[in-house]
Amino acid sequence: MNFKKTKIIDNILLSFPNGDDVIEIRFDSKIRQAAVDENLGIVLVILENESGQKLVALNSDGTERFSVPPPKDWNFYYLSTHINHALAVVCVSPKERFDWFFSIDPNTGVLQSLNRAY
């Protein structure tokens, strides 16, 4: 994933490249983090507002692929990769001592618990 290819403006406007074009999308929620995976043609965005968080995946043309909440009792912390998975998110929980990796299915957004994040 490439974090440098995304640009966040005023915490609500996301800008990212699509070939020779630049896609800009305005969200109603605060953008916490965004990253592009050019190999999978996907842009991941962690959004947050007063009612909670969600992970949104966009196709390279800016259309929404999926939107999912964090796993039960967890909050999204940051986007990452994992040694066995191209797309991952690290989550935190007040009920757990350690941060935890979750893989992200690039087609459905299903999150699968992996292992402790160091």
Predicted confidence band of residue 5 (pLDDT cuts 50, 70, 90): confident
Q: What is the pLDDT of residues 47-59, one digit of tens each?
A: 999 999 999 999 9
96 within 8 A of 111, measured Cβ to Cβ? no
How many other CB atoms are found less than 10 A from the CB of residue 70? 20
Over pLDDT 90: what percentage of the chain? 71
Residues 6+ positions from 1 with CB-CB distance below 8 Å = 35, 36, 37, 44, 79, 80, 81, 86, 87
Over 70: is that where the pLDDT of 2 sits? no
The mean per-residue pLDDT over the stretch 33-59 comes to: 94
Q: What is the pLDDT of residues 68-89, one digit of tens each?
A: 999 999 999 999 988 888 899 9
